[in-house]
């Protein structure tokens, strides 16, 4: 008989609200141990493979440092230095790699490519960013909000800019965890309504605005991202023109609640999607957000490999 299918983290809706509640508690404990220099190595003899088909600073650092801290090892591969770049099928790559390691993280283009890998993998697969979703980042963002202001439930997140992987993952999270997203995108750059679990039919979690300033009215969190995501570089010029009014500046932040936070998954372009005054200003928590990638992914890897740890 075939072994049970592994639990994958392919998008935000891969886990349910109860599993996230458990994860948040584990993140707090695991981060606390790191801050106190306490050794916590439940993943000794476990190996994570990281496959990057796009560039990365935070995702690579946070997974790699996090895995070593938990006692495990990491193997890093890109499409240019592997047979993926010479057209080896993703299914064959998955069959081979998943016989050698315990866990796989992939950053790639289409979500279908990630899902194809997962279908042929014997071990859990984590989405390290696709064109459609970036769940590890949204997990870190929600945890960061939680640390600064408490639960996001019932609150409002303003998403300013591209209807990209970050925007779509915010929508999945809002539907699952019970908060609202105000989205303002330039015409032609809205989210892809055909993606799963976006909760677009739920008026309690999704409102669309033509005017980015209006989208910020009363928001508890204002967030944005690059105008041109990886893989869309050919559209750079057209996007720069279309997005010119979608820059989160102090006037936009002034429309949000006085205690609103600003987040950006990074890398950022000051003077494009965000002004220097906002990203380097007092409401910005972008460095906590980046650090928390490591803590949330440590808890996620623990959960996928060991289940509900209680200690």
CA distance 96 to 229: 30
Q: What is the largest CA-CA distance in the chain?
A: 62
166 lines the binding site for ligand NVA (CB under 6 A): yes
Extract the tokens encoding 188.
């032609």
**Interface residue with ligand CP, options 10, 34, 59, 104 (CB under 6 A):** 59
296 binds ligand CP (CB under 6 A): no
22 is catalytic: no
Please confirm, yes or no, whether 239 is among the known catalytic residues: no
In the list ligand NVA, ligand CP, none, the entry touching 47 (Cβ below 5 to 8 angstroms by class) is: none
Q: Of these residues, 162, 175, 220, 225, which one is catalytic?
A: 225
Q: How many angstroms separate the Cα of 222 from the Cα of each of 225, 278, 279?
A: 11, 10, 11
185 binds ligand NVA, rule: CB under 6 A? no
Site for ligand CP in 214-273 (CB under 6 A): 265-266
Residues that bind ligand CP (rule: CB under 6 A) add up to a total of 8
The span from the CA of 145 to the CA of 165, in Å, is 19
Partner whose footprint covers residue 165, from ligand CP, ligand NVA, none (CB < 5 to 8 Å by kind): ligand NVA
297 is catalytic: no
Taking the complex as a whole, the smallest distance from the CB of residue 119 to ligand CP amounts, in Å, to: 24
User: Which position among 107, 182, 239, 295 bears the catalytic label?
Assistant: 107
- 165 touches ligand CP (CB under 6 A): no
Please report which helix (H) or strand (E) contains residue 54, including its range: none
Length in residues, the chain = 311
On the question of a cis peptide bond just before residue 205, with omega within 30 degrees of 0, the verdict is: no
Judge whether 305 and 281 are in contact, CB under 8 Å.
no
Binding part of the chain for ligand CP, among 52-60, 85-93, 97-105, 271-279 by CB under 6 A, reads 52-60
Nearer to ligand NVA, 226 or 294 (CB): 226
Under the binding rule (CB under 6 A), the answer on residue 198 touching ligand NVA is no
Q: Is the peptide bond before 60 cis (omega within 30 degrees of 0)?
A: no
- For residue 221, give the nearest of 133, 142, 276, 167 by alpha carbon: 142
User: Does residue 129 interact with ligand CP by CB under 6 A?
Assistant: yes
CB of 235 to ligand NVA, least distance (A): 12
Alpha carbon dihedral 219, 221, 227, 232, in 10-degree steps, equals: -120
Residue 112 CB contacts under 8 Å (≥ 6 apart), including other chains:
none
Q: Which of 182, 259, 178, 274 is nearest to 225 (CA)?
A: 274
CA Rg value for the chain? 19
Binding segment for ligand NVA among 142-150, 175-183, 222-230, 237-245 (CB under 6 A)? 222-230
Nearest to ligand NVA of 7, 230 (CB atom) = 230
CB of 137 vs ligand NVA, minimal distance in Å: 7
Question: Considering beta carbons, is residue 138 or 299 the nearer one to ligand CP?
Answer: 138
Angle at 270 between CA 265 and CA 275, to 5 degrees: 95
Report the residue number, 56 or 283, with the smaller CB distance to ligand CP: 56
Residues 111, 137, 172, 297: which is the catalytic one? 137
Dist CA 287 CA 59 (whole Å): 14
Site residues (vs ligand CP, CB under 6 A): 56-59, 129, 137, 265-266
Which residues form the catalytic set?
107, 134, 137, 225, 265, 293
Residues that bind ligand NVA (CB under 6 A): 129, 164-166, 225-226, 229-230, 265
């Amino acid at each position: 008989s075939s072994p049970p299918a592994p639990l994958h983290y392919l998008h935000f809706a891969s886990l349910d609200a109860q599993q996230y509640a458990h994860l948040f508690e584990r993140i707090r404990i695991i981060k606390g141990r790191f801050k106190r220099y306490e050794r916590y190595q439940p993943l000794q003899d476990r190996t994570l493979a990281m496959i990057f088909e796009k560039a990365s600073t935070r995702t690579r650092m946070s997974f790699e440092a996090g895995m070593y801290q938990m006692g495990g090892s990491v193997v890093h591969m890109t499409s240019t230095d592997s047979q993926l770049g010479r057209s080896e099928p993703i299914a064959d790559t998955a069959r081979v790699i998943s016989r050698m390691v315990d866990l796989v993280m992939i950053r790639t283009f289409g979500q279908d490519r990630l899902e194809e890998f997962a279908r042929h993998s014997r071990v859990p697969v984590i989405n390290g960013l696709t064109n459609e979703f970036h769940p590890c980042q949204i997990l870190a963002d929600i945890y960061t909000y939680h640390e600064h202001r408490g639960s996001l439930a019932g609150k409002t997140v303003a998403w300013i800019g591209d209807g990209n992987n970050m925007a779509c993952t915010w929508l999945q999270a809002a539907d699952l965890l019970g908060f609202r997203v105000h989205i303002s995108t330039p015409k032609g750059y809205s989210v892809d309504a055909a993606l799963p679990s976006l909760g677009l039919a739920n008026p309690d979690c999704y409102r669309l605005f033509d005017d980015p300033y209006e989208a910020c009215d009363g928001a508890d969190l204002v967030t944005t991202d690059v105008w041109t995501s990886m893989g869309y570089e050919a559209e750079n010029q057209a996007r720069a023109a279309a997005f010119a009014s979608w820059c989160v500046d102090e006037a936009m932040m002034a429309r949000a609640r006085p205690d609103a936070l600003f987040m950006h998954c990074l890398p950022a372009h000051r003077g494009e999607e965000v002004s220097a005054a906002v990203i380097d200003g007092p409401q910005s928590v972008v460095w906590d957000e980046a650090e928390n990638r490591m803590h949330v992914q440590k808890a996620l890897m623990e959960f996928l490999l060991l289940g509900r740890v209680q200690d």
